[in-house]
Structure 1
Amino acid sequence: MCWIKIQKWNKTLRYVIATLFFLSVLMSCKKNESQLQTDPFWNDFNKIELLNFEEDLTSTSITSINAKVEAINDIGVTHGESALKIVFKSDEKQTGIKIEPKTPIDASKLKDFCLVFDATNPGDFSTHLYVEITNHEGKTRTRSVSVPVNTTKTYFFELEGKYLRTDTNLRDNPKPWNIPSVQMKMRGRIEPIDFSKITSITFYTKNTLHNKEVVLDNVLLVETPEISNNYLVGIIDKYGQNAKFNFEGKITSDNQLKAMAQAELKQLEEEGPMGGRSTFGGWLNGPKLNATGYFRTEKVDNKWALIDPKGYLFFSIGIANVRMANTTTFTGVDFKNEKIRSLDPEEVTPEDSKGMVKLGKEITNTSYIAYPERNKMFLELPTYDDPLANHYSYRRKQHFGPFAHGETFSFYQANLERRYGETKEGEHLKKWVDVTLKRFLNWGFTSFGNWAGYEFYHENRMPYFADGWIIGDYKTVRSGYDFWGEMPDVFDPEFTERTKLTINKIAEEVKNNPYCIGVFVDNEKSWGVPGTVKGQYGIVLDALSMPAIESPLKKEFTRLLKAKYQDIKVLNEVWETNIINWSSLESGLNLKEQEAYTDSMVTDFSMLLEVYATKYFEVVHDVLEEIMPNHMYMGCRFAPWGMGKEVLRAAKKYVDVMSYNYYEEGIGKKYWSFLEEIDKPSIIGEFHIGTAVSGLFHPGVIHAADHNDRARMYKEYLNSVIDNPYFVGAHWFQYIDSPVSGRAHDGENYNVGFVTNTDVPYPSMVKAAKEINSELYARRFNSPISNNK
C-alpha cells in the first residue's frame, strides 16, 4: 500500500488525504495506451529517481502549501501508471507542495547534474511554476518557468555544472544543449552552491489571479554531459540579437530595418494619437474638477484619482525607463588609460543612470581584451573608425557582476542609426524622441513611468515623472538585505545636504514644467525584510551595534531610549539584558546574534525603525516642498521585500502618492488589504511579463508561455490595478528589451520591452495596450461621478 503524507504548510490540517492510491488498484488498472514519453536525452546518464508516484513514499513527506493534491492515472502520466496533480490556489503568497525526505537526498556521487521532471498543464491558464531546492546548509536555488496550457514537457535546471561556477555577466545563460527539454530560468544570481545533499524540493506558484494546475511525474536528478567550450562563443549577432536562435521578428539586414521603420512611421502618421484625452492626457469626456495648473490628487466617489493641470481626471498608465542609460552591454574590452575611470565626488547621478560616455582616441588607443570569454560572445562589433563606433561607452563600476569596469556598446542605439539614418551627429536620437512620443500617444498611454529620459521633459507632449538619487559621502547603516546598497544615516547632516543637491538638480531639469506629474526619489530601498525580528529590524540592530560617537543615528536611538526608560536598570529589566550603563550602550550593543528577543525589545525596535523611516521621508519631503512646491512627492517605489508596517506608516505622513514595484501576475486582495488602512493614492512603479520565445536568454521576473499569453497577462495585471480604488496608475518596466548579452549595470538580459533591441514593437503588446487604454477611463470611473468643482 502506498501512502503520501499531506500536511498544511502551517501545520494545521486542511487537506488530509489518508490514502491517495492503493498499489493493488494501480496494478489492476489498464496501462494508459497513450502514455506520454519523457525527453529521451536524459536516458543515457546516471540518475537518481526521486519521485515517480508509483512506489512506497513512506520515506518522503509531501506537504501541501495552500494547495489541493491528488494522484491521477490519466492526464500527465509519463512514467508508470500514475502522476501527482497539484491545484494551486489563487491570491496566495505561496501555494504548492514541499517534498522533504526523512533523510537528505545524497547526490554526492553525481558530478555535474540537473533536476529533471515532467510537467503537464491541464488547466485554463499558463502556470508560472517555481521550483526551490534547499541543501543541507539551508542554502537555496530557485528557478521558474511558464508551463503552457495543454502541454506535456520535460523541464530541467542545473544544480552543479560548469557555467554555474563562472559569472559571464548574464542573469541567465542560453540552454547548454540542443534538446527538447525546457530550461528553467534563474531567480537571483548565478552562483555555485553545494547540492551534494538535498533536504527539500518545493514546487509552487504565488500571487496568481487564477487557480492553476500542474501534473508532475518522473522527478529525477540526472548527471549531465560536458558543456562545449564554445558554448557561449558567437551567441550575439551584429544587431545584438540571439545569433543561434530563430524567432519571430528577427532582423537579418539593414534594409529590413529601414523598411519596417518606414511602414511604422506611415501608420503612426495616419492613425495619430488616441482620442478622448485632454491636453495632459486626462479624461476629456469626464467631469472637470478644480484646476490648479499642476497635477494633484483627490478622492472622487471613493476612488483615488490624479487630477491633471486642467482639472480632468487622470490615470497614469505608461512605460518606465524610456532612456538610453540601460541599453549598453560590456564588450570584454577595457583601457589602460586611467583617465576614463575618474570619479567626481560631487556627482549626484549614479552610474546606472548616466548617459553615453564619448571615447576619444587617447582612450581607445589603449584598448585591450580584459575578459576574453566575454569578448568572444560577439560575432561582430564595430571598429573604432566605423560610423557606428559612437555607440561605444564606458562603465566605471558595476552594481554586481564580474567586471570592475570596462567598455560598453549599445546595440539599440546602433540599430536606431541603422533604422533612421544619420546625416548629422545625434539625428537618430532626435528621431527616436519623436517616434517614441508618437508611439505612446497612438498606443494610448497617458504618461511615462519613472526614469524618462531628460530629452522628453520639455517636448510638452506627454506627462512624465522626474527622478533622482540621494548619493554621496554620508554615513550609512545596513539592514542585512542590502540588495541595492546600504541605507543612509538620515540623522547625518550630510544626508540632508546631499538631498538638497539632488533636488536642486531635478528642479533645474524640470523648470517648474506642469507636464511633470511628480518626483520619485531613490528606488527599492533596503528597509528590511518583514517576517523575522532580524529581517525586519536589521537597521535598528546595526545602528545599536555602532558607537554613538561615529553614528548620528545611534546617538538619536540612545537619546530616545534614555527618554523612555530614564534608568538603565529599567531598560535591562524589560530587554532582559545586562548593560552596565548608558555609556556602555552608547559605545555599542551587538544584539545581532541573539536567538530571541523580548516583546519589549521588539516594541522598541519598531518604534526606532519608524523614527528612522520618518526622518528619511521628512527630509526628502521638506526639501522637495521648499524647492519644487508644485510637484508631488511620489515616494521611493517600495519593493515587496522591503516595506514593513513602520516604514509604510512613516511614508504615509509625507508622500503624496505611495509607490510600489510589484512583480507578480496582478493585484490580488489578500496582500494588498493594507491599502484600506493606509488610504493614500498609490501607484505601481514597475511590473513586467516576458517570454522565452523572443530570442532573449531570460524572460524576466514573470513568465508567459508566448507572445499572446504575455499580452493576455499584461491586460489582466492592468485591469486588476485599474479596478482597485486606491491605485492611480501603473507603469510597465521597461520600454526596450534588456540587451541580450546583459545590461552593464547587473547583467539583466530580460524580455521586458514593448520594443526589441532593434526598436521593433511587439505587435501583441501594442494591440493589448490599445485595447486597455481605449477603455481606461470608462472602466476606472464606471459609476456616476460628482462634478466636484
Structure 2
Amino acid sequence: MKRHAWIWLGLCGLGVCHAATASGVADLTAPDARVRISLDHVQRIGGTERAADGVAQQRYAFQPAPRPQVVVAPASGAWDWSGRGELRLRVQNAMPWAVTLEIAVDGAAAGQRLQASVGVPAGPAQTVVLPLHATSPRAQGMQAGPPMPYDAHGRRILLATTVEGALDLRAVRAITLAMPPPQAAQTLLLGTVDAVPGEATLHEAYAGIVDRYGQYVRGRWPEKIDTDEALRAAVRAAPAGASPAGLDRYGGRLDVQSLDRTGWFHTQKRDGRWHLVTPDGHAFFSLGVNAVITDGGRSYVEGREFMFRDLPPDSGEWAAFYGHDDNRNPEQGASRGIGYNRGRWFDFYAANLYRIDGKDWLAAWRTRTLQRLQAWGFNTLGNWSDDALGRAHRLPYTRSIDIAGDYANVSSGYDYWGRMPDPFDPRFVQATERAVAKASTGVRDDPWLLGYFADNELAWAGSGPQGRWGLALGTLAGDANSPAKQAFIADLKANYRTSAQLAAAWGIALASWDALDATGFAAPAPSETHPAIARDYSAWLRRYAYTYFRTVTQALRRHDLHHLFLGGRFAARTPEAVAACAAYCDVLSFNVYADLPQHGLDLAALRQLDKPVLIGEFAFGSTDRGPFGAGPVAVWNEQQRGEAYAKFVAAAASDPNIVGAHWFDYADQPVTGRVLDGENSHFGLVGITDVPFGGFVEAVRAANQRVDNTEVR
C-alpha cells in the first residue's frame, strides 16, 4: 500500500443529496469527483457493506503509524457551512475494543480549526456528532459530561462533548479523521458525513438526564431507585454491621501500650514509628471521611431546567431545598469556564433525606450516619463535616480554619482555588485571628477534637517545569503596593548592595531598584548559568511559607493550647513550604490523589523532616454508578474502587510516618455538578439517594478492620 492514496467520493449524506457547494456532505462509500479523499497510512478495504439497519458503509483500516488519517476536502475551493451547527459522521467500530477517533475541521484561514477526540466503542453503528463551535461539559455547568454513546429514539448517538478551537464556517477546507499511533491496524466502517443546521444533538444529549432523585436517567446500577417507597426501603434495609471491638472510646487500640496519656489527642514517636495517640493513651490510626454533610447535593438548576425531570415546586414543603447563590470568585481556576454557575440551585441529597424520614430528616440522618461510619470501621470525621456529628462524641472530629478577608494576595500561576494569601499584609494577620477564634469556639476544651487544618490546597506552586518558583515570580509581578513584593525587594536589597549587583547575579538589565516596583515585572526563570536566581527564590519561598505558618500557629496557640495543628492540606507544594509547615505544625497533611501514598509523596524526603504525615484526602472513582466523573484517579468499576481503597490504606498504615488517611467523600457529587465548581464525580460511600454502595462499603469495612488489626506496633 502506498503511503498516500486518493479517492473521489460523492456528496450524499443521511439519505439527502446536495450540490458540491452546499453543506460539504461526503459519502465515504461512493465515488464522486466533487470531493477529494486523502488516505495517509489508511487502507480502504473491499466494497460497500450494509450495516444491520441497511445503511451503506465502507471499511477503512488505520495502519500502525504516527498519525494515520483520512482527510476529506472539496475538490476545489472551500465549503460554505454558514448556518450549520453540527457535523455528523456515520461510524462503526469493527474492532472488539474501543478505538479513539480524533476529528478536526479546518478553515481556509491559518489557525482556524475545531477538534475533538471521541472513544468509539465496539458494537453497532452510530452517528458521531461534532458541534461546529467550541464547547465542553464545563460550559454546561459540570466538569464531566454524560457517557457516550446514548440511545436517541433507536439511534446510537456519540456526541463529542468537548470541542476545542474556532472556525469560520463560511470557508471550510477539510475534515480530518485520525487516530493516535495504533500498535496494530484498527478498522472502522465509515459512511456519510454531513453538516446540518442547528444544535439539536448537543441539547438532546443533556436534556432530561436527571430524575427527581438526582440520578442519571439513562444509566442502570444495583443501587438505583425509582419510587419513594423503594428509596425508604433501600436506606432502611442497608445493614450497618457491628462497630469494631478492642478499641478505647475514641477508637484507639487497646493492644498498643506504653504511650502517654495526656487527656488530649497528641503525636508520639515510639521505636521509629509515629503515632496519633488518643486522650486515653492508645495508638490511633485516623481513618476518616471528608464532607460528612447534608448540603453536598446542591446543583444549579437556573437556566438549565431542561436537564431535570420532575423538579418539585420551589414552594411549600420543597422550598427548604432550594436556594440562590451569586457569589463567584473570578480568580478561582476551579470554576473557570463553568457555565450555569450562579442563580437558583436545588439540593437533591437533602431532598432525598426528607423523602426518607420526613420533617425530622436531619436528626435521623445524623444518627444513621454515625452508626454507619463506626460500623464501616471509620474513626474520624474529616474536614468540612457537620459540626453536630462531632458534638455527639461518638467519633473524633477535625475543624477547618478558613481564613478569609479583605487582604492582599499573590498569584503563583496555578490559583486553582484562588490566589495565595499575602501573609505580610497586617490584614491577613487580623483575618487569621478571627478565623482561629471562630474555629475554636466551643471546642477548645473538647478532648474529642483531633485537631485543626488551616485552609485547603493553597497554591504554593505554579504549573509547569518552573512551577516551583511560581510564588516568587508572582510576587515580583505584583504591584508596588503589595506587602509581599515590598518584603521580597527588601530582602534583595539586604543581599545585594546595589541594583547592579542583583542585575549581574540574575543576568538581567535593571536600571535601578525602582524598576522592581513595576506591575507585571518579568522576573527571570532560574537557570544553570545564573544559580543565584534559584537561591534567592528559594530563600523567598521559605520566608513566605514560614510567615504564613507562624502566623496561623501563633493565633492558634493564643486560642487553643491543647489540640493538634494538622497542617495545610498540601496539593501543589514546594520543599520550602513543606519544611515551613513541619517547623510549626504538629502534623503534615497532604491531599494525595494517586494509586498509593508512596506514588504521590516523597516519603523518604518527608522522613528527614521527622514529622507525622496525615493524608487529608484520597479517592478512587468510577463511572458505573451515575455521576459522570471518576476524579483524578479513575478505576473501571465499583469492585475496583474497593480493591483500590484496600491497597491504599494498607500501604498508608505500613509506612512508619503516616498516621492516617481520610477518604473524599461521604456522598456522591450531583450528576450535573456541585455548586462550588461543577465537580460531578462518583466518590461516595453512599449515593445522592443516601443508599450505600453495598459492595464498596463492605470492601472498605474489611480494609479498615485489617488496618486496625495489623498496624505496625
TM-score by length of 1: 0.71
Q: Which moved more, 1:536-545 or 1:455-464?
A: 536-545
Which sections of structure 2, spanning at least 5 residues, go unmatched? 4-26, 45-58, 168-173, 330-334
- Post-superposition Cα deviations, 1:150-175, rounded to whole Å, max 9, x if no partner, equal x9999999876568267120212224
Distance 1:681 1:404 in 2: 39
Q: What amino acid maps onto 1:618 in structure 2?
A: R
Q: Does residue 490 in structure 1 map to residue 423 in structure 2?
A: yes
Opposite residue 613 of structure 2, the aligned amino acid is S
Aligned to 1:330: 300
- The aligned runs of 1:10-159 (5 Å cut-off) are 99=66, 112=87
Aligned-partner Cα distance in 2 for 1:599–1:115: 58
Rounded Cα–Cα distance in structure 2 between residues aligned with 1:185 and 1:291: 60
State which of 308, 312, 334 in structure 2 corresponds to 1:382.
Answer: 312
1:106 Cα deviation after fit? 10
In 1, Cα distance between equivalents of 2:613 and 2:556: 19
Q: Distance in 1 between matches of 2:116 and 2:598?
A: 23
Within 2, Cα distance between the matches of 1:660 and 1:567? 41
- Asked if 1:633 corresponds to 2:607, the answer is no
**In structure 2, what residue type is equivalent to 1:680?**
K
> Which amino acid in 2 is paired with 1:688?
A
Distance 1:221 1:489 in 2: 57
Q: 1:412 is matched with which residue?
A: 349
Output the CA distance in 2 between the equivalents of 1:50 and 1:455. 66
- Per-residue CA deviation, residues 509-532 of structure 1 (Å, 9 max, x unaligned), is 424211111111111111223653
Per-residue CA deviations over 1:448-493 (Å, capped at 9, x if unaligned) read 2211111212100001110132111001111111111111111000
Instruction: Measure, in 2, the Cα distance between the counterparts of 1:220 and 1:536.
Output: 48
- How far residue 636 of structure 1 moved from its aligned partner, in angstroms, is 1.6
**CA distance 1:157–1:47, change in 2 (3 Å):** farther
Match of 2:52 in 1: none
Counterparts of residues 189-268 of structure 1 (less than 5 Å):
192-194=164-166, 217-218=186-187, 227-228=200-201, 229-264=203-238, 267-268=239-240
Aligned residues: 638
Paired residue for 1:95?
none
> CA 1:762 to 1:257, structure 2 compared with 1: closer, same or farther past 3 Å?
same
**Partner residue of 2:643?**
712
Closer, same or farther in 2 for the Cα pair 1:695/1:454, shift >3 Å? same
> Cα deviations across residues 736-777 of structure 1 (Å, max 9, x unaligned)?
100112111111111111000110000111111111111113
**1:146–1:703 Cα contact (<8 Å) kept:** no
2:610 maps to what in 1? Answer: 679
Tell me if 1:723 matches 2:693.
no
Distance in 1 of aligned mates of 2:559 and 2:657: 28
Cα displacement (A) at 1:101: 8.9
Residues 48 and 220 in structure 1, CA contact (< 8 A), matched pair in contact too: no
Say if 2:540 is the partner of 1:608: yes
- 2: distance between equivalents of 1:675 and 1:51? 51
- Residue of 634, 642, 645 corresponding to 1:703: 634
Amino acid at match of 1:764: G
Specify which of 539, 547, 551 is matched with residue 619 of structure 1: 551
Given the alignment, which residue of 135, 156, 170 partners 1:164?
Answer: 135
Asked whether the equivalents of residues 412 and 474 of structure 2 are also in contact (C-alpha less than 8 Å), the reply is: yes
| Cα gap change, 1:746 to 1:220, in 2 (>3 Å) | farther
Residue pair 2:594, 2:600 contacting (<8 A) in 1 also: no
Deviation of the 1:417 alpha carbon: 1.2
Distance 2:418 2:375 in 1: 39
Determine the C-alpha separation between the residues in 2 that align with 1:49 and 1:688: 46
Residue 740 to residue 290, structure 1, CA distance change in 2 (3 Å): same
Deviates more, 1:551-560 or 1:771-780: 771-780
Evaluate the alpha carbon distance shift between residue 183 and residue 747 of structure 1 in structure 2; reply closer, same or farther with a 3 A threshold: farther
Q: Supply the distance in 2 between the matched residues of 1:621 and 1:238 (Cα, whole angstroms).
A: 46
Shift in Å at residue 144 of structure 1?
11
Per-residue CA deviation, residues 565-609 of structure 1 (Å, 9 max, x unaligned), is: 122222121112232233333455712587968321222112112
Distance in 2 between residues matched to 1:154 and 1:314, nearest whole Å: 56
- Cα gap change, 1:144 to 1:234, in 2 (>3 Å): closer
Say which SS state the counterpart of residue 704 (structure 1) adopts. coil
| 1:760 aligned residue | 691
The answer to whether the Cα contact below 8 Å between 1:52 and 1:219 also exists between their aligned partners in 2 is no
Aligned in 2, Cα 1:154/1:660: closer, same or farther, shift over 3 Å?
A: farther
Q: Deviations over 1:410-468 (max 9, x none)?
A: 1111111111222xxxx210111110000011111111221111121210000111013
Deviation of 1:285 after TM superposition, in Å, equals: 2.4
Relative to structure 2, which stretch is displaced further, 253-262 or 463-472?
253-262
Cα distance in 2 between the residues matched to 1:143 and 1:648 = 39
The alpha-carbon distance between structure 1 residues 689 and 547, as it changes in their structure 2 partners (threshold 3 A), is closer
Name 1:336's counterpart in structure 2.
none
1:546, distance to aligned residue in structure 2 (A): 3.5
Distance 1:675 1:140 in 2: 45
Give the counterpart of 2:451 among 518, 541, 549: 518
The higher radius of gyration belongs to 2
Tell me the alpha carbon deviations over residues 658-707 of structure 1, each in whole angstroms, 9 at most, x when there is no partner.
Answer: 11112222223585243333332112211222222212222333222222
Q: Partners of 1:589 and 1:397 in 2: how far apart?
A: 28
Deviations 1:169-215 (CA, angstroms, capped at 9, x unpaired): 021222464269998999xxx674359999998799xxxxxxxxx98
Q: Distance in 2 between matches of 1:607 and 1:155?
A: 59
**Aligned match of 1:539:** 471
1:481 aligns with 2:414: yes
Instruction: Return the alpha-carbon distance in structure 2 between the equivalents of residues 677 and 130 of structure 1.
Output: 48
Residue identity matched to 1:388: W
Return the match for 2:587 from 634, 647, 657: 657
Q: Give % identity.
A: 29
**Deviations along 1:693-735, whole A, 9 cap, x unmatched?**
2122223332222221221122122222222222111111110
Paired residue for 1:529?
Answer: 462
Matched-pair contact (CA < 8 Å) for 1:154–1:182:
no
Letter in 2 for 1:418: R
Provide the C-alpha distance between the structure 1 equivalents of 2:306 and 2:649, rounded to a whole number of angstroms: 41
Q: Give the conservation status (yes or no) of the 8 Å contact 1:50–1:219.
A: no
Unaligned segments of structure 1, at least 5 residues: 4-41, 56-78, 85-97, 205-213, 333-370
Instruction: Give the drift of 1:780.
Output: 2.0
1:546–1:554: 8 Å Cα contact kept in structure 2? yes
> Aligned pair 1:280/2:250, yes or no?
yes
Q: Which amino acid aligns with 1:629?
A: L
What is the CA–CA distance in structure 1 between the aligned matches of 2:615 and 2:448, rounded to whole Å? 19
Q: Match of 2:611, as an amino acid? A: K
Work out the CA distance in 2 between the residues paired with 1:106 and 1:307: 70
In the other structure, the counterpart of 1:646 is: 576
1:668 corresponds to 2:601: no
Cα deviation code 1:617-675 (max 9, x no counterpart)? 11111111221221111122111xx2122222222211211111122222235852433
Provide the TM-score with structure 2 as the length reference: 0.78
Q: Corresponding residue for 2:24?
A: none
Aligned to 1:447: 380
